[in-house]
Amino acid sequence: MTSPGPLALAPAMADALARWLEIEAATRDRSAHTITAYRADLLAFLGFLSGHHGEAATPKSLASLRQADMRAFAASERARGLGARSLARRQSAVRSFLRWLSDREGFDLSAALASRSPKYARSLPRPLSPDQAQDALDMVAVGHDTPWVSARDVAVMTLLWGCGLRISEALRLDGRDWPFREALVIAGKGGKERHVPVLPVAHEAVAEYLRLCPWRQALDQPLFRGVRGGRLGQDAIASALRRARAALGLPPSATPHALRHSFATHLLAAGGDLRTIQELLGHASLSTTQVYTGVDDAHLMAVYRAAHPRR
């Protein structure tokens, strides 16, 4: 799939787009990554309209959008090779922007927005079993010639599996975050903070890494360091787990992020409450947690029937 070239927006349209993105970031707690994706989605749409109608799109011209225009855009994106999932997300961003713009400008786009997004099969994450996760950590512990590097990798992975951190969250920790208290305050997507309990095994793993680490810890320096002393990158952890995966015969889905999946799924299997797990993971939506843990509707109904006072 090739990307379109730079798009020159009409001033009024550029202003409207910038304003909408500001509102999404400020009031909907969107992450910087999401805002970047939304901007790309809207630029693709507005670029299509410019070519489709032969002139640059403006807020005024969008008032005459028809459902046929929306369908033509979807067909164009599919022809460029965009998958159903990506197209559904792109159309969702476009609809959100158009609803906001129509409210601001005072026109009705309900007919144009009536077209449906493509259906796609949502791929469920594949968590590791408790034995597989433990075997992977044991293999990582002996997987490097330098003991402190192995201890570092184990410490990071223990935070993913034992605390449900995203790998980016674990690697953002600084010296000022140590020693850990009973709970870590983690700034997740969109800057939303959550409190994550720290298991003793995670505390011990990090302590062992710091005992062996040749780099002096400082408040303003990264907690997890690369071999040259800078902040550790995600690729090093992915490589360590990839080597362990090959040695143990684990599937390709056994990635660092799968350890976070495993944290949630193992908690749920042990009787954890789905809402609590949502809070620990930092998900905005309970439906995301449901998919994340692989829990199905039958399980939710079983919990409902067992817990509801009118059962």
Q: Is 257 a catalytic residue?
A: yes
Does the active-site annotation cover 166?
Answer: yes
The dihedrals phi and psi of 218, each to the nearest 5 degrees, come to -140, 150
From CA 22, how far away is CA 51, in angstroms rounded? 27
Q: Which of 189, 231, 242, 299 is catalytic?
A: 189
Continuous segment of H or E residues that includes residue 197:
strand 193-197
Cα(193)–Cα(281) distance, integer angstroms: 11
Strands 183-187 and 193-197: antiparallel
> Active-site residue among 89, 260, 261, 266?
260
Helix (H, G, I), strand (E, B) or coil at 5: coil
DSSP, collapsed to helix, strand or coil, labels residue 55 as coil
Question: 3-class secondary structure for 143-193?
Answer: CCCCHHHHHHHHHHHHHHHHHCCCHHHHHCCEHHHCCCCCEEEEECHHHCE
The active-site residue out of 89, 144, 152, 292 is 292
Q: Which of 89, 90, 144, 166 is catalytic?
A: 166
* 260 annotated active-site: yes
**274, 290 in Cβ contact below 8 A?**
yes
292 in active site:
yes
Contact 202, 245 (CB under 8 A): no
Q: Which residue out of 95, 242, 257, 299 is catalytically annotated?
A: 257
Active centre residues (catalytic): 166, 189, 257, 260, 283, 292
